Amino acid sequence: MTVLAAATAASTLAACGGGGDDGGGGTSSGDSGSNEASDIGITETSIKLGAHFPLTGVAAPGYSEIPTGAQAYFDCLNEQGGVNGREIEYIYRDDAYNPTNTSQVVQQLVLEDEVFAIVGGLGTPTHSAVLDFLNSEGVPDLFVSSGSLLWGDDPETNPYTFGWQTDYTSEGKIIGDYIAENFPDAQVGLFLQDDDFGEDGEAGIREYIDDQIVAAERYTPGNTNVGPQIAALQAAGADFVVGFNVPSYTALSQLTALQLGYDPQWFYSNVGSDPTLVGNLLNNFSEGQVSDASLLDGALTTDYLPTVDEPDNPWVQEFQRIWDECGGEGELTNYRIYGMSQAYTTVQALQAAGQNPTRDGLVEAIETAGSEWEGPVLAPFRYSEDSHMGTAGMSISRVTGTTTEEVAPVQLTDIGDAEIEAYDGEPAEVPENGIPDEESVVD
């Protein structure tokens, strides 16, 4: 499916401002000696990273903002000296959310641009098209912008690929557990994208409320008529609908339900719930008859990152500073926060890989140190030799107008038979200049 997962999405960044300062404010690995051209995409002064995103086409709204957030973070990082005195050269190319295009642009990034790693490639169907290629070429495939299990549950098959955001199955488990606890009498309907996105989410939610589910309806991406699916949920008596869908289908499902006079309790997965974007889509699809996200008022959703409607959050304040100083046109959005957060994690990985990183050394560094990294992400990562899964938990929020309010704190889980438990960790402090402190370096 998609990201943010997505996009989705739905990453994090930088180099240490204290301790290992190299005179430019950047990071130092603690290694002795000088910088070397240690691998493809690594020179004495630069690290070349690549990415694919839908900069045009139907998936561009929202998702095209992710790399602009990452670029702003990298630009501010480079002004502070980069990582170990190397500046990040970030190349992102447009695949228009078309897997054929993804194959072409990723091959260009790897074979012509000779990037050191691919970072944050967006979308399940798109990134699936390059999964085998990147692993066969030995290219680090970091922090995919999608919650599919493909990126992390089988490191033996895909040793160079790592997830980043909460996977859809774990998200489904957390949603199912919340419904079982708080809406035990609800008649639940599922509105699902007809691919791994919807399948993984459904599998997780059924672990907790299988006996409450009265209908499961699927849509095919690209088919904008969801009338039959929403009508079927209504006919089945579903008074609580969970959607594992992308933002455009959140808008379509809301407009269709409005036409049918259908008003269940809605719960949208993180991928499809950004109020600002959904409000813009509602306005476009309805030709101005619905001008904002008011239809979403009262809907539930999940979070694994701080959001722009939390202006007092230290991470949001820091990302606002970075955007103001190093960003481009437009405002700070949740998608740009996603990109900055992903970039932050990327810098933690590069720091951990040492002064003169190699591709294989970068993979080892993430497996060895990644589970200890802290940053804007609300829950710990699950990285190890046996798991390349991303963050392990989410909170639950209610949409109120154009903002959200937390109704349940961060819960942790994993795929398989892992239980759900409350997270007792404290939010990570924002480091100086928004640059991660170096803590773990692989020798």
The encoded tokens of residue 316 equal 């949001």
Which run of H or E residues covers position 399? Answer: strand 393-400
Q: Does residue 432 belong to any structural domain of this protein?
A: no
| Pairing relationship of beta strands 240-244 and 213-219 according to DSSP bridges | unpaired
More confident residue, 122 or 7: 122
d(CA 345, CA 427): 16
Work out the mean pLDDT of the chain and round it to a whole number. Answer: 91
Number of domains within the chain: 2
Q: Is residue 441 part of a domain?
A: no
List the domain range (segments joined by +) for residue 79. Answer: 1-166+306-391
Task: Give the pLDDT confidence of 260-298 residue by residue, as tens digits.
Answer: 999 999 999 999 999 999 999 999 999 999 988 899 999
Q: Which of 265, 247, 255 is nearest to 225 (CA)?
A: 255
Same domain, yes or no: 42 and 124: yes
Tokens of 81: 């000296």
Domain boundary among 260, 284, 303: 303
**pLDDT over 80 (residue 28):** no
Q: Is the pLDDT of residue 407 over 80?
A: yes
Residue 297: exposure state from Cβ atoms within 10 A (0-12, 13-18, ≥19) = middle
Alpha helices in 275-333 (DSSP H): 275-285, 314-326
Given its phi and psi angles, is residue 434 left (phi above 0), alpha (psi -120 to 50 degrees) or beta?
left
pLDDT digits (tens, 9 = 90+) for 206-263: 999 999 999 999 999 889 999 999 999 999 999 999 999 999 999 999 999 999 999 9
Give the up-direction half-sphere exposure of residue 119: CA atoms within 13 A in the CB hemisphere: 36
Give the pLDDT of residue 58: 83
DSSP 262: -
Helix (H, G, I), strand (E, B) or coil at 50: strand
User: Does 402 reside within a domain?
Assistant: no
- SS3 for 45? coil
User: Within this chain, do residues 2 and 86 fall inside the same structural domain, yes or no?
Assistant: yes
217 inside domain: yes
CA 394 from chain centre, in angstroms, equals: 12
CATH code (residue 139) = 3.40.50.2300
Give, as one character, the DSSP assignment of residue 96.
T
Q: Are 46 and 127 contained in the same domain?
A: yes
Predicted pLDDT at 33 = 77
**Domain stop point among 355, 370, 391:** 391
Global pTM reads 0.90
With a CB cutoff of 8 Å and minimum separation 6, the contacts of 383 are 162, 366, 367, 370, 371, 389
Q: Is residue 71 domain-resident?
A: yes
Q: Are residues 279 and 319 in the same domain?
A: no
Residue 298, in any domain of the structure: yes
